Structure 1
Amino acid sequence: MFEWISDHSTFVQASVGIVTALVWVIYLHILVSGLRRQRRSEILITLAGARDLSGRILVSNLGFEPIYILDILLRSRAEADERTVSVAERTEVRFEDRTSSDQVTLQMPLKSGDFVDIGQFETLLRRARPSASQHGDASDLTHVEITVVAVTAATTSIVAARRGFGIERSGKDRISLRADSLYARQIRRRRERRRIERQLEDLL
């Protein structure tokens, strides 16, 4: 055995070098993947309470990095109309009651594990349609999509998540909400993020 190793020392050294290199490559891949997971944003959008217009929308930061909520976009779809507006400003709070920044706007930092209540679904519709008199004028709506846009120190561009809700009607004036998916979809493709950035620029 030792004689064979001695006779083929060059081959053995080359094989050991290749195995060592493979081990380091695998280790580096695991290390880089772990760092990417730690820096990757994860924004949760949930409906709490009743599954109707009185339900409250919660935004949670499940990523390891803190985020800063830059804006919240609401896209409402009706039979003959579709619009996307910002609902980050708490327009329902009276001016004299605005004693702190969180009563003025939803633009705020969220640490890892933190969440913020952005309001009732009905309130979001009122912010999107301020001229509506009842239920944010949801009588003609068929679908609503909420997009949370944020920034983080881990990336030079925005991060975002989106979740849609179908609006179903049963009986007289009875409205229920049904989420399109179990979780909010994380928007990671550069093209989609650039499209959202252009929407924000248009809303300036």
Structure 2
Amino acid sequence: MLDWISQHQKLLSLIINLGTLLIWLVYAQLLYLGFRRQRRPRLIINRGKKKDINALCIISNMSAESVFIEYIIATLDTSRGQIVMDVTDFEQQYSDDDDLGSNEEENRKSRRVLNDSSVRENTRQGPLGSGDFLHIGTFNDLIARMARDEGIEIEHHRPKGDLTLDRLTIRLVGIYGPEDMPIGAERSFTLSDNGVYCSLVPESWDTKRMASMRQRRELRKQIQRFNSTNFSASSSFQAQQQDEEKPSDTQ
């Protein structure tokens, strides 16, 4: 046995060295995968409590670090065009130009309470910790808010007339940990009205990640555009609706 080992010493040394190299390569691969997993942002958009249009829109952060949610953009596709709205902030039920009237002191106190309340009660912008989640209301509330902004009358979860709602897309734009470039996540839901209720079906089994360099550069340009224009909403719906109404006006 010893003679065989001495005769094949070089071959055995080569095998041992290759085995050691293979072990180190596997170990390095595991370290790389662990590091990549730690640095990989993961946001999930899903339904909660229910499966129809009255379900809660839940946002979960499954990343290893916190994600600062900067924008939540909702896009509603209809048979007459598209409506895009920034739904990061909650709708305010008051105006600075409201008439205080006889209850001036009481209204001032209520506004002072609102102004002194935490930011979390007025906006969804802010850090979302690892493993945390938040909801941005029901999908029906989001649709009703966007329809109201465009003057669309909604009755029993559906618009009046021949207008149909086709798709609702939720896009998140945020900053992951100490990184400078923004990240994004997006998920679309198909809306189907059978006359009795409106179903809400995800178009994909998972939330689409927007974390490649090209996508992150596009998100950065989008943030710069939002900040420079003070973006709140945009729409192609109104223009298409006016085009459809022109022939009837000339008859």
User: TM-score, normalization: structure 1?
Assistant: 0.85
Q: What's the counterpart of residue 162 of structure 1?
A: 186
- Unaligned 5+ segments in structure 1 are none
Task: Give the 3 Å change call, closer, same or farther, for CA 6–32 of structure 1 in structure 2.
Answer: same
Is 1:104 the counterpart of 2:122? The answer is: yes
Q: What's the counterpart of residue 99 of structure 2?
A: none
Q: What's the counterpart of residue 174 of structure 2?
A: 150
CA distance in structure 2 between the partners assigned to 1:188 and 1:82 by the alignment: 25
- Residue pair 2:183, 2:219 contacting (<8 A) in 1 also: no
Task: Give the 3 Å change call, closer, same or farther, for CA 71–90 of structure 1 in structure 2.
Answer: same
- Which among 108, 117, 133 is matched to residue 115 of structure 1? 133
Is 1:141 the counterpart of 2:165? The answer is: yes
Q: Deviations over 1:35-66 (max 9, x none)?
A: 21132222111222344443221111122211
Q: What's the counterpart of residue 125 of structure 1?
A: 143
Helix, strand or coil for the counterpart of 1:203? helix
Which amino acid in the other structure matches residue 200 of structure 1? Answer: I
Q: Which moved more, 1:105-114 or 1:154-163?
A: 154-163
- Residue pair 1:70, 1:149 contacting (<8 A) in 2 also: yes
Q: Cα RMSD (Å) of the superposition?
A: 2.6
Q: Deviations over 1:119-175 (max 9, x none)?
A: 222332355452436449963321111011221126442222211111111226x43
- Residue pair 1:85, 1:203 contacting (<8 A) in 2 also: no
Is 1:182 the counterpart of 2:182? The answer is: no
Q: Deviations over 1:173-198 (max 9, x none)?
A: x4322221233222233223332332
Q: Displacement of 1:81 after TM fit?
A: 1.3
Q: Which moved more, 1:107-116 or 1:85-94?
A: 85-94
The structure with more helix, counted as a fraction of residues: 2
Q: What's the counterpart of residue 31 of structure 1?
A: 31
Task: Give the 3 Å change call, closer, same or farther, for CA 27–189 of structure 1 in structure 2.
Answer: same
Q: Displacement of 1:91 after TM fit?
A: 2.1
- Residue pair 1:163, 1:184 contacting (<8 A) in 2 also: yes
Q: Report the structure number with the largest CA radius of gyration.
A: 2
Task: Give the 3 Å change call, closer, same or farther, for CA 127–171 of structure 1 in structure 2.
Answer: closer
Helix, strand or coil for the counterpart of 1:64? coil
Q: Displacement of 1:116 after TM fit?
A: 0.9
- Unaligned 5+ segments in structure 2 are 96-110, 228-251
Q: Deviations over 1:82-115 (max 9, x none)?
A: 2433211112454734522012211111111111
Which amino acid in the other structure matches residue 186 of structure 2? Answer: R
1:183-198 maps to which residues of 2 (within 5 A)?
183-198=206-221
User: TM-score, normalization: structure 2?
Assistant: 0.70
Q: Which moved more, 1:183-192 or 1:20-29?
A: 183-192
1:53-72 maps to which residues of 2 (within 5 A)?
53-72=53-72
